[in-house]
Every structure is written in C-alpha cells, then in structure tokens.
Structure 1
Amino acid sequence: MKDHTHLAENIIEIYEKKAHVWVRLRGTYLYEKVWLDRFLALLPQHSNILDLGCGSAKPIAAYMIEQGHRVTGVDSSKAMLEMARQNFPEHLFPECNWIQGDMRTVKLIEKFQGILVWDSFFHLSPEHQSAMFQQFDHFSMQDTVLMFTSGPAYGEQIGDLFGEPLYHASLSSEQYTQLLNRFGFKVIIMIAEDPNCTGHTVWLAQRN
C-alpha cells in the first residue's frame, strides 16, 4: 500500500486554508437528520455531547443545541472554531464550549453522555483511528452513546477539496466491531453507504 502519511497529516492545514469555502459548499441542509435523531433518541434530555470535528457548528451542533443539549465542540482548525464562536458565542450560549485541539490528543476532564464524530474520523489514518477508541473510552461514562462515520471497507482513498488532495481511510467492519466491543460499546445500528444519508457509512453504538 502506498504511504499516504503526509497527506493524512496535511488534513488540518487544508481545512484551515479552505474553511470558509468549505462552509459555503456544505450549506445548512441537515441531510444527517435521520441519524442525529437516532443518536439523540438514546440520550437523556439536556445531555452533555462531545462533537469531535465540529467545524463551524452549523448545521449539526446547531441542531443538537436546538434540541436542548449542551455541546462541547473540538476542531483543529482555528478558522472553523472562529466561525463556531461567531455562530454560538459562549456568553450568549453558556451551554456551548468551543475548543481548538486535535481529537487524537485533546485532554478533557469532563465525561460525556454523547460523542459524535461525523465526517472527521475518516480523515485519520487507520492506526490513528484504532488509537482513538482509547480517547472515546476516556470521554465516556456508563451508557454513553457514540456515533461516527467511516468508509464501507478497509483502505485509503484520496479525494479532492478545491484542488487539494483530501485523505480518507477506514478500518474494516470487523475491526470497528472488535474495537467497539473491546472498549465496552455495543453496536445499535450500522448502515454502510446509507442511501438515505448521501451514501454515508454510519456507526451508532452505546456503552454497556
């Protein structure tokens, strides 16, 4: 397999440079709603949710905030976090906390009832994805709900974001299942290339 390590490590720089054009391209249509509703249905009211790779906080974090939940958003891109803070200033939205940091290394004292890693986890190398389950474990409590997007099968792919090579990777379904089980998560539902969510492969699990 060709070594794409340099491309994986360049993801943060790409999103920093392309943050505003990416946000305009992404728009605010919530095509993830069916999955977010499944995720939120497993949580108590007014839960603490950790959104890893939160971007500008719109539309995903915005939807969770509208449903009455408290959101801690983490993103490596300073430009993305600036937009999140503009969209949801912490002095007006005390239930929000926006943290610039790398999901692989960010240190948080708080435990969360929900952990969401949507369209960000799959930019990590397979090795770093495996290691992230220790982070998930650290941020979790009893009954924590975890939802993340992945690829449909093991491998690496290089996409394109406004002329920049955009790295994606995935473990196999068997590997994800083994890691979830190892860290005490039971798979609630997993759909590969969901036609009702623009072809996303989504995992929804809950801590035993």
Structure 2
Amino acid sequence: MSDQSHLAKNIIDIYKKHGHAWTALRGDFLYEKAWLDHFLSFIPPQSNILDLGCGSGKPIAVYLIQNGHVITGIDSSDTMIAMAQQNFPQQDFPHHQWIQADMRAVNLPKKFQGILAWDSFFHLTPNDQRAMFQQFAKFAEQGTVLMFTSGPSVGEAIGDMFGDALYHASLSQDEYRQLLSKHGFEVVSMVAEDVGCAGHTVWLAKFI
C-alpha cells in the first residue's frame, strides 16, 4: 500500500458527508454531453444502462433518460442514492433502479447495453481498478459500450472536497488498453485531458 492509497477508504464517507453540497456545486451543466452522445451512438434505443457511481442522477442520468434509456444506478453513498430516488420517484420513473452498493462487489441479474463509470472509477486504488475490468465484462454482452474516466497517466492524486482529502488514482494508458483487451473490450476512442470536457481523460470501448 502506498502512502496515499489508504485515503481511498474514506471516499464513501466523504460522499455521504458532502453529497448534497457536492451535487449543488456540480450543478446541471452537462459538459460531458459530446462524450455521452458518442456513447449513446453505439447502443440501441431503449437500452439498459448501468451507471456505476451514479450520484444523485443529475445531470447525467437525466440526459440518458431523456434519450429513452433505462438506468440502473449504483452508488456506495446512501446520501447520493437517497437523492437519486428523490429525483426519480418510483411512481414517475418505474423502470429505473437506484441501488446502494459497492461497484467492486455488486451482483446484478442482468446484462447491459451500456456501462458508465464517470468520475467514480478513478477513486479506486490501482488494484481495485484492475479488478473492475472483470466486473465490467460480467455485465456486458456482445456490443456493450463501456465509458469511464481515468487520470492521464499512472499515479495517485489527492484532491479536496470541502476540506477532506479526495483520493484519485490512475493506471498507465498502456495498462488500461491491456486490461480492456484481456477482458474482451476494444478501444473505440480515448482522449487524455480533453479540453472540450473540462480536462477529463475519457475511455470509450466496446465489448466484442
């Protein structure tokens, strides 16, 4: 364990503690729209999408639902899931599910046409990230599209959320490519520090 990876254990508690404040700060501006449109261009209408680290569901799940897709949202933070359930009440959104669970261990009875791990996967330690590719593959069928964000290069980075140390980690681009290939995914597109997407490093891959 590195000097910093122990901070990864605090991520869930941080998002429980600051979930409302972080969601308010995040706002509704969809800077991810171009990437989400790219992601959606590969999946059929009315697809089932697995959103790992869905948060409150705003603004990303809102956009996916507006485009006619069915969302299963997973988040470890009970605060975030409660917000998502409030934002998408069952009586108005009966086909969507919001489940408090750890993406590293969640077990679901179906496969998905789209899998999203946006601004969530990169909070995991390097070893947990490596193990996630088996999870991605478990929920994929032929043609499933996976999109996730990472760091631009190997290493750990500590951000700040309202005074709490916020852990991020990244493998190397080469290792991500190897892990995707090993688990049956083919890279469709990858941009490091995309200036059109608030500097995010984005991976888009298809299960073949």
Query: Do these two structures clear the TM 0.5 threshold for a shared fold by scoring above it?
Result: yes
Give the deviation of 1:92 after TM superposition.
Answer: 1.4
Match of 1:189 in 2: 189
Match of 1:55 in 2: 55
Amino acid at match of 1:77: S
Contact 2:5/2:167 (<8 A) preserved = no
Give the deviation of 1:5 after TM superposition.
Answer: 3.0
Match of 2:41 in 1: 41
Match of 1:82 in 2: 82
TM norm structure 1: 0.98
Match of 2:127 in 1: 127
Match of 1:21 in 2: 21
Query: 1:90 and 1:170 mapped to 2: Cα distance?
Result: 36
CA displacement, residues 92-120 of structure 1 (integer Å, 9 cap, x when unaligned): 11221000000001111110000000000
CA displacement, residues 41-64 of structure 1 (integer Å, 9 cap, x when unaligned): 000000000000000000000100
Contact 1:8/1:124 (<8 A) preserved = yes
Contact 1:194/1:201 (<8 A) preserved = yes
TM norm structure 2: 0.98
Give the deviation of 1:89 after TM superposition.
Answer: 1.1
Unaligned runs of 5+ in 1: none
Contact 1:69/1:95 (<8 A) preserved = no
Query: 1:33 and 1:190 mapped to 2: Cα distance?
Result: 16
Question: Secondary structure of the residue that 2:64 maps to in structure 1?
Answer: helix
How many residues are matched? Answer: 208
Question: Secondary structure of the residue that 1:156 maps to in structure 2?
Answer: strand
Q: Moved runs in structure 1, 4+ residues, more than 4 A?
A: none
Query: 2:65 and 2:129 mapped to 1: Cα distance?
Result: 27
Question: Secondary structure of the residue that 1:51 maps to in structure 2?
Answer: strand
Contact 1:185/1:205 (<8 A) preserved = yes
Query: 1:2 and 1:143 mapped to 2: Cα distance?
Result: 37
Contact 1:188/1:205 (<8 A) preserved = yes
Unaligned runs of 5+ in 2: none
Matches of residues 169-184 of structure 1 in structure 2 within 5 Å? Answer: 169-184=169-184
Amino acid at match of 1:130: R
Q: RMSD between aligned alpha carbons?
A: 0.9
